[in-house]
A and B are shown apart, each in its own frame.
Chain A
Amino acid sequence: MGEISYGPLMLSIKVAAIATIIVFLTGTFLARIFARKNFLGKTIIEAFFLLPLVLPPTVVGFGLLILFGKDQFLGKWLYDYAHLQIVFSWIGAVIASTVVAFPLMYQSASAAFKQVDGKLEAAAHTLGASKWRVFRTITLPLAWPGLLAGFVLTFARALGEFGSTLMIAGYIPGRTDTIPMAIYFAVEAGDMQTATFWVIIIVALGFSTILWLSWWSNQNLRRFTVKRKGGAPRNV
């Protein structure tokens, strides 16, 4: 094994972190709107949101190439007006991770919001709370475990994204070489030691992420769901 550059680790974390933030905000926002509203075409739009979950990543990558290719409408427009090149850049990797991970966040957030008892929100309104205050103080804290699970799953999925990233961002060492890319091309070059190194790193990252989520959930959910020994606490 030659000297290993930590570029793929830093790039993977950067791409996954940005994609996770985008997906968390948009997924939470859309799931909140869709959880309580019924309108014509809702099922079709939701099916579209979840499509990347069932499509091969290469198909998603192909779709992104069609959208963001340098000669395509959106890609050309972004290049001409914002000087942004999506194809063969780390931004392309962020977009690929965002699209592929979005359904996980949307599903988690949707389930989390549907679980919140509408009566609690109604009760808060009768106590004089505005819609924003009800969301901030009732809906969000009660949906938080589900949202956090979505956040972690999104990060893990974005970190491991390979197929569509390869299609749109390609493999350019130092520019678009995320860890999954580094593993694939190390194996292809017969450098099993480098591949093993990156496999260990990505397994450790994924495992610690899930471990932290389980620990956090246990700590925070127990507080208001499990009775304390000796019954209700007395006044202190």
Chain B
Amino acid sequence: MFDAHLIKDLPDFKIDVAIKAAKGEVSVLFGPSGSGKTTCLDMIAGLTLPNLGHIHMGENTYFSSNQKPCPTEKRSVGYVMQDYALFPHMTTEKNVQYGMKSAQKSEKALALLDQFGISHLRNAYPHEMSGGEKQRTAIARALATEPDILLLDEPLSALDDKARHDALTVITDIQRNLNIPIIMVTHNWTEAEKVATRIYKIEQGRFI
């Protein structure tokens, strides 16, 4: 079970939200641009720290006001950023392998590439791929670390209709097969409704 209470002062407003997500659930943060959605994901991933509150993932405490925060690299969080942040100097296969620790990471990476239908792109660099292919690579890379929670920041915003439909299928497949909490950020209501177990409407840092 994921449980977080995030409080953070931003220049224009204050974020104060409580998010819960059980295994296999997709919690969607829905709201307009600049409402603090991505900052919430950054706090969960440890890229920025809340001023107060807590972040618990199962037994693990990632953040608590009264103790030293868990560094990003020690959190078991898969994070797919809005523009995917694929490493431009690495091939698809190397991108997916980056976070893997096991000795057989080559076989595991190939299996993941296969699962996401991008094994034919294993030697391609990010600039040689379409938006949908980049998105699938980014999700495969995030899942390669076998995270306890998956964060998706506007994963469909850069895709055309066909790729968006395919990507929605990918997300629901992950939800069904991996049984981990997923927190997705979007400003598109239709997308939110299609995948969400629960939807949090956020505006100016608060749920409405």
A residues at B contact (CB < 8 Å): 117, 119-120, 122-130, 137-138, 141-142, 223-225, 227-228, 231-236
Contacts and interface: CB of A to CB of B under 8 A. Distances in A.
A19 to B, nearest CB: 30
A128 B89 contact: no
B128 A232 contact: yes
B207 to A, nearest CB: 25
Contacts of B125: 223-224, 232
Interface residue SS majority, chain A: loop
B123 A125 contact: no
B95 to A, nearest CB: 9
A127 B128 contact: no
Contact of A126 (B79, B88, B123, B126): B79
Contacts of B175: none
A122 B89 contact: no
B interface residue count range (under 10 / 10 to 19 / 20 to 34 / 35 or more): 35 or more
Interface of B: 45-47, 71-75, 77-79, 81, 83, 85, 87-89, 98-99, 101, 119-129, 133, 141-142, 144-145
Contacts of B73: 125-130
9 contacts: A117-B85, A119-B83, A122-B85, A126-B47, A126-B75, A129-B98, A141-B89, A142-B88, A233-B124
B45 A126 contact: yes
A126 B122 contact: no
A235 B122 contact: yes
A231 B126 CA distance: 12
Central interface residue in B81, B83, B101, by most chain A CB within 10 Å: B81
A127 B120 contact: no
A115 to B, nearest CB: 12
Given A125-B47, A126-B47, A119 B141 contact: no
A136 to B, nearest CB: 12
Central interface residue in B85, B99, B133, by most chain A CB within 10 Å: B85
B127 A227 contact: yes
Contacts of A225: 88, 127
